Amino acid sequence: MITTVCLNPCFDKTVSVDRLLPGQVNRIREARVDLGGNAINVAVVARRLGLEAQCLGIMGENGATELTALMDHEGLTHRFLTVPGGHVRTNMKVYSLDGQGVTELNEPGTQVTESILQEFTRIVAEDTADSDMIVLTGSLPPGCPEGTYRDLINALDGKKCILDTEGRELELATKGADPFLIKPNLREMEATLGIELRTMRAIRDAALIFVRLGVQHAVVSMGAMGAMYISADKTLFAPALRVETKSTVGAGDAMIGGMLLGYQIEKNMARAFRYGIAAGAASVMTEGNQPINRSDFDALLDQVRVQEV
């Protein structure tokens, strides 16, 4: 069983415009709304790849029925605490068709209280008894104190935890807990450490900072440049696969889902790395925040090339 933890789920609304003009009226050409929240995305990808997965989380009561229906449609097992009076947030991705890129407008989410967090921590500890791996990822809603991810990992009593976050939460979790794997992207790694990372050696050395603090494995995704895997005794690099990119939303979540499958098959995270590369590439081939297609993943897996550096 794989469990993912989603403290701040959302609806992902993706719209496209001919050209984004700040301060002016922009006509939307296409729009779609998908199930959102990093941990939900990971769980959906894991299920589509054939793994048994569940998602635990917190959400506002307004919009909960609609969000639950989307999770049910994916066949996802889930258990969410609802916050009375709260709203499930909506995150908007604006695609400018002239090549400007994507502009994201993300709502903060519903305020949570200490008592809700305490109850949720109890639920997580209780409902992960049979879980082989636990994924903690995504933004935290207002009301969460610093070190929320650290405290959740410590409450899980030695379970293998994958952490995908940045900044202070990443710092505190790696200093005060022992994540099995961290998966920041390059921008997140640079922002957390406050330095520019322009070479593979610099990225490796940055990841080793966290490895020396007790992290067993680190994967740094670098978009079109590919990705790196770093542990105490091995560094691997995989170039990005050449695929038609329709949307990069959720690619990092898909990479984690792929590595979960790879770890179940290979029993080795370094060998599982290439499964993550294939899943991330399959993800960008779908529009909006749609999960990957298993057939795309299977076709890409043999194309992944991993080299030791």
Could you list the active site residues?
253
Q: Which residues contact 268 (CB under 8 A, 6 or more apart)?
A: none
Quick check: helix, strand or coil at residue 140?
Answer: coil
- What value, to the nearest 5°, has the Cα angle with vertex 257 and ends 59 and 77? 45
Question: Of 142, 84, 76, which is closest to residue 114 (Cα–Cα)?
Answer: 142
3-state secondary structure of 103: strand
Q: Could you tell me which of 51, 77, 48 has the C-alpha nearest to residue 261?
A: 51
Pick from 149, 215, 213: nearest CA to 183 = 215
Token pair listed for 256 = 């984690």
CB 135 within 8 A of CB 164: yes
On whether the CB atoms of residues 51 and 132 are closer than 8 A, the answer is no
Interatomic CA distance for residues 143 and 8, integer angstroms: 11
